[in-house]
Amino acid sequence: MTNATAAGAEALHFQVGDGDPRDRLDKLIVLLLERAGLATSRAAVQRWIAAGRVLVDGEPARASVAVRSGAIVEVRPEAPPPSATAADPDVAIPVVYEDEHLLVIDKPAGLVVHPARGHASGTLVNGLLALPGFALAPADPRDPMGHVRPGIVHRLDRGTSGLLVVAKDEPTREALKERFARHAIEREYTAIVAGEARDATYDTLHARHPTDRLRFTSWVRGDAGAHAAAPRRAVTHVRVTERIGDAATVVACSLETGRTHQIRVHLAERSRTPVLGDPLYGKPPKKPALRAIAEELGRQALHARVLGFIHPATQRPVRWESALPADMRRALDQLRGLATRSSI
């Protein structure tokens, strides 16, 4: 077992367990931090090691060193440098609500939320930095990756459209994060899935896939094994709203928890009805007509339709609904037409 204790605000101490990967210090630290809820990159850890911010049994060590079981590893994550993320006024941000404390955005599919590898510009964060009140937003000092996330308290995948709340000040951000943490946010998604879905509640464990780092899975043991972060509970309520022949179903998905890719994982693994067009958890439909619709859509047919919560400043309930975007409406019309003609 690996034990971790915080030493003040800067240092973390871990005791290396028998089952931990011990062949390289940098790999070990990435896992230890992920377990502690501080996921970071191996490159960042290597920078900390080179700067002398990592000690093994009180002594500096190389990134490539093997670590003995029982060793005490001290990690002092380095504060991220000032961000070079640039404001981009050309990023269109469809705002559906704004007050002095927060924004609610209807994110289009294809818009990446924050800069990452392969998406250094043109993201929602770049657009936010061009808005009044966000221009001086720093990198979050609690984020070892140094991501700039002005007011970002939750996210939608690039291919998912719909409602997203952004805080404009620190008290609002912290209050919204607390509401998300205790699942006090109303969220409902509309999905078009391949196959015949059914009303169901999926209550599973959820963790990163053991062999594919891009994916998550609900097929995981309670301890997730020694080489993975501890799994977390994921609960999705699925309700059928329309059946389109036997080839597709429209479902409403309500979240109790908000794990990464949660809806996509539950629909693909537990319902066995993957979201239409999902490039990561689905497969191209075997039926040519259905496959053509998925290819034209070009993204997972998933839309964050409802968002509601108690406003942190006014303490009054607020709630928004977003209509299906044009690409999903077009896919639905095509599916209904094919079903009418018994072509799917």
Query: HEC states along the chain?
Result: CCEEEEECCCEEEEECCCCCCCCCHHHHHHHHHHHCCCCCCHHHHHHHHHCCCEEECCEECCCCCCCCCCCEEEECCCCCCCCCCCCCCCCCCCEEEECCCEEEEEECCCCCCCCECCECCCCHHHHHCCCCCCCCCCCCCCCCCCCCCCCECCCCCCCCEEEEEEECCHHHHHHHHHHHHCCCCEEEEEEEEECCCCCEEEEEEEEECCCCCCCEECCCCCCCCCCCCCCEEEEEEEEEEEEECCCEEEEEEEECCCCCCHHHHHHHHHCCCCECCCCCCCCCCCCHHHHHHHHHHCCCCEEEEEEEEECCCCCCEEEEECCCCHHHHHHHHHHHHHHHCCCC
Contact 72, 56 (CB under 8 A): yes
Residues forming the active site: 157
Sole residue written with tokens 């404001």: 87
Going by C-alpha positions, the residue among 14, 43, 27 that lies closest to residue 144 is: 43
Neighbours of 81 (CB within 10 A): 8
